[in-house]
Chains A and B, each alone.
Chain A
């Protein structure tokens, strides 16, 4: 041990210490919750669980309303991500390439949904959504989920387009590639890292909405967060822990599925 410390400089030592602190603060809690989801009656003042079982997870997957709500959550998340992609790609491209009058005003306006209270906007929109038959529907919930997600989507794609630059696109254009071919063979593959972060972040934000979903969904669109609160007050702690882990697993599941889809699309396009 001392040998290792001597080899490392002071700077490296501080960095590795900081990494350990970071892991201890931000990663370790997840390990504890995972252990807790397999524990039986892990209560004060025990430092470690006295017994382990699968009961918590059995309870979770035995709840039929939960299965239904996982499907609803994935459906909402999928549409939110899709809409974000469709809206942010063209806007980000223009914002990264052109400069024009009033650009900074438009940028501020596009950022405004995360500066104005989302709960206020949802309450304001509720009555109109009822009139248009969007309330109590997945479609209405998807629309309000755009409020906290769209500004981030545009931001991420904009940074992606800025890194990509315009030179390659110009070259493809000179060589006779139309906008469709340019997008699928050039922009899409090169923007993939940004698209991945966009999908992950917008899905995660959509997954974390309670108030917006409750206000517009009206108790009819039951996503996972709406079930989490009643579970939180229940006494079975292993179930709450398992449920919490589920929230971290869903984005991974989603992103895994999307990754396969993306690869298939790119392969298909490149074959043509």
Chain B
């Protein structure tokens, strides 16, 4: 590839091509993060202080928000990964031709808050499932239907995220399933292994890096997303993102540092988790890539 523009050597070409994307990311993430951290340590008058963090750690409401945020993020991610994996395993042959792949793309097409509306439509006390059970004679009154949406545990939010992320997981895992050399599965079966052995020794090594990456993306996204909790959450406890957004737009500017520090904590945790997981998978992945070179 050195023919036409040989005046650019490889190193320069790498830098030149990567620069726009790197600069944009550095500006948005690097500067945004730095500015957010700086503002979390400043009072309204510009003095440097730890006050916002101290206030957060002394607030019971903050810990309730933190607990709810982690619960929703972890449960939704795990459920989406498991359901997505099972569905991909059973359906990858079916999704092989691209016309049926449209089915997976349809739920991806709609924004999260529309998914939230769907959950509300079907699962609220006056929703369609409630109507169905009423018509079947199971319920005498709508109040007998369990409160699944806009309650304290976050069931409505978890349902929404699982529904919305399962197709995402399927889309991430499908290419991996097409890459797997399924003759190995036959080897395992010939040697007397059962389905679980096939999964563990043939599929899992291929799936693991992508599963970890998908799980990281999901957990980081759900822990900080605003759209669904704003629609389906309750006022107490609130998800952290909603709490932070309200502090940010509070008429009183003295609450702004709180908004920053409240979001920095889950951000830092997501980053640490990412570094840990990527480090753990890297070794594994390198071995795989080397093994793939024929």
Q: Which residues of A contact B (CB under 8 A)?
A: 14-15, 18-19, 22-23, 25-27, 29-30, 32-33, 36, 43-47, 86-88, 90-91, 93-95, 97-98, 100, 104, 106, 108-110, 112-125, 127-128, 143-144, 146-147, 150, 154, 159, 166, 169-170, 173-174, 177-179, 200-201, 204, 207-211, 215, 225, 228-229, 232, 240-241, 244, 247-248, 251-252
Is there contact, CB below 8 Å, between A248 and B109?
A: yes
A4 to B71, CA, bound (A): 45
Is there contact, CB below 8 Å, between B18 and A106?
A: yes
Closest chain B residue to A16, Cβ basis: B94
A117 to B110, CA, bound (A): 21
A125-B28, A146-B28 given; name 4 further pairs at CB < 8 Å: A44-B130, A116-B33, A117-B267, A208-B111
Q: Which residues of the partner chain B approach A18 to less than 8 Å between Cβ atoms?
A: 87, 90-91, 94
Q: Which residues of the partner chain A approach B224 to less than 8 Å between Cβ atoms?
A: 117-120
Closest chain A residue to B285, Cβ basis: A104
Q: Which residues of the partner chain A approach B135 to less than 8 Å between Cβ atoms?
A: 45, 47
Count chain B residues whose beta carbon lies closer than 8 angstroms to a beta carbon of A. 85
A95 to B18, CA, bound (A): 8
Chain B, 75-127, CB within 8 A of any chain A CB: 87, 90-91, 93-94, 103-114, 117-118, 121-122, 126-127
A121 to B175, CA, bound (A): 32
A71 to B36, CA, bound (A): 32
Is there contact, CB below 8 Å, between A125 and B132?
A: no
A248 to B109, CA, bound (A): 6
Given A32-B121, A125-B35, the answer on whether A115 and B217 have CB atoms closer than 8 Å is: yes
Q: Which residues of B contact A (CB under 8 A)?
A: 1, 3-5, 10-11, 13-14, 16-18, 20-22, 24-25, 28-29, 31-37, 39, 87, 90-91, 93-94, 103-114, 117-118, 121-122, 126-128, 130-132, 134-135, 142, 163, 166-167, 175, 216-217, 220-221, 223-224, 226-227, 230-231, 241, 244-245, 248, 259-260, 263-264, 266-267, 270-271, 274, 278, 282
Is there contact, CB below 8 Å, between B241 and A32?
A: no
A86 to B24, CA, bound (A): 11
A120 to B240, CA, bound (A): 11
CB-contact partner of B1 in A87, A122, A169, under 8 A: A169
A204 to B4, CA, bound (A): 38
| 24 residue pairs bridging A and B, Cβ less than 8 Å apart | A22-B87, A23-B103, A29-B118, A45-B130, A91-B20, A91-B22, A93-B17, A115-B216, A116-B271, A119-B263, A120-B260, A122-B32, A123-B244, A124-B37, A125-B32, A144-B28, A147-B32, A150-B25, A179-B5, A208-B113, A210-B227, A211-B226, A225-B227, A251-B109
